[in-house]
Amino acid sequence: MRKSRRERGESQFGCLLGLILLGIAIFVAWKMIPVKVKAAEMRQTVVDEAKSAGTHNDERIKAAIMAKAREDALPLTEDDINIVRANGEITVTVNYTVPIAFPGYTYQWHITHTANNPIF
C-alpha cells in the first residue's frame, strides 16, 4: 500500500506560509525597533533632566529635550513638553506621536514619558 504525499507530511504550503510570516515579522521589526530605541533614549533624557531640576530652569530642560528630539528626528514640539514644579518636586511629561509608514497603512505610535523627582 502506497502512502499519498499528504500522509507523509510533505506539504510545501506550510513552509511557504511560515516564510511569509517570518518575512512580515522581520519587516515590522525593521520599522519599529529604531523608533523604540529612539524613544528609550528620549525617556532617558527626560529622566536625566528631571534629576537635574535643582540646577536647571524650565527653559534649559525644554532646550535639552528638544535638542535630543532634533538629534533623533522625533516629531516633538515645545508644546508637547509639560513641566510642573510643586511641593519640592518636578514632573516632566513629554507626549508625542511617531508615524510609522507601512505599505498601505501608517501607524500612529503615541508615546508618553513621565519623570517625577524631588528638587534639591
Tell me what pLDDT residue 119 has.
85
Tell me what pLDDT residue 5 has.
52
Answer yes or no: are the C-beta atoms of 76 and 63 closer than 8 Å. no
Tell me what pLDDT residue 15 has.
86
Geometric angle at alpha carbon 83, from 116 and 54, rounded to 5°: 65
Answer yes or no: are the C-beta atoms of 91 and 116 closer than 8 Å. yes
Tell me what pLDDT residue 89 has.
94
The closest of 119, 120, 71, 64 to 94, measured between CA atoms, is 64
Amino acid occupying residue 36: K
Q: In order along the chain (120 residues), what is the average pLDDT of each group of 10 residues?
A: 56 85 95 96 96 91 96 95 94 96 94 92
Percent of the chain predicted with pLDDT > 70: 91
